[in-house]
Amino acid sequence: MADDQHLIAALRQRDTDAFAALFNQYADKLYRVAFNILKNDADAECVVQDSFLKLIEKLDGFEERSSLGTWLYRVATNLSIDRIRKARPTASLADDFSDDAPIMPAVFIDWAHTPEQWLSEDEKHRVLSAAISQLPPKLHTTFILREIEGLSTAETASVLNASTGAVKVQLHRARLQLREYLSTYFSERVNH
């Protein structure tokens, strides 16, 4: 936060080095979050651009209640979710509630040590994209922020305006749903 205070002060002076430092620190991070939610290059780039534009607009009135990073992650996540909801207005409500289903593993094939040998790079990419895309939005964004982006539980909770308990539950469900999806896929491959 001390670093943030210096950075914000420099940005308010329209210091271009400070803006370059901000962009270099966060552009790829925000892109990674947006791309993993949207799975579309152009849409993810728009989200990154719009996130920085929002910060530029609010710079002089920026209240340092959360870190710059948390604020930018929150904006990029919300803009990405808004784009999905606009694209699929009827699907979003059902998706938001479907993550309440209890999860108990049902497929016990041990594929942990061999999948790379079973899959071409193209197939691996397709299967992993499909696995993460089938998660309900809340689990999807929690998994991306915690596992792909490497944020802590507390940071993820702050980005999502959720409790740390809720983040832990959502991450647990996401991991188990993803495991089940991939286990089912590998199980079907073994049986064919």
Q: Other C-beta atoms within 10 Å of 104: how many? A: 6
31 vs 71 by CB, closer to other proteins: 31
17 vs 90 by CB, closer to other proteins: 17
Shortest spacing between CB 93 and other proteins, in angstroms: 26
Nearest to 144 by CA among 101, 80, 67: 80
Tally helices (H) and strands (E) across the chain: 10, 0
28 vs 188 by CB, closer to other proteins: 28
Confirm if 103 and 177 have CB atoms less than 8 A apart: yes
175 vs 189 by CB, closer to other proteins: 175
Confirm if 159 and 77 have CB atoms less than 8 A apart: yes
Rounded-to-integer distance, Cα 77 and Cα 91, Å: 18
- Interacting residues with other proteins (CB under 8 A): 11-12, 14, 16, 19-20, 23, 27-28, 31-32, 35-36, 41, 45, 48-49, 52-53, 56-57, 59-61, 103-105, 108-113, 115, 124-125, 128-129, 131-132, 143-144, 147-148, 168, 171-172, 175-176, 178-179, 182-183
Confirm if 139 and 170 have CB atoms less than 8 A apart: yes
Shortest spacing between CB 157 and other proteins, in angstroms: 14
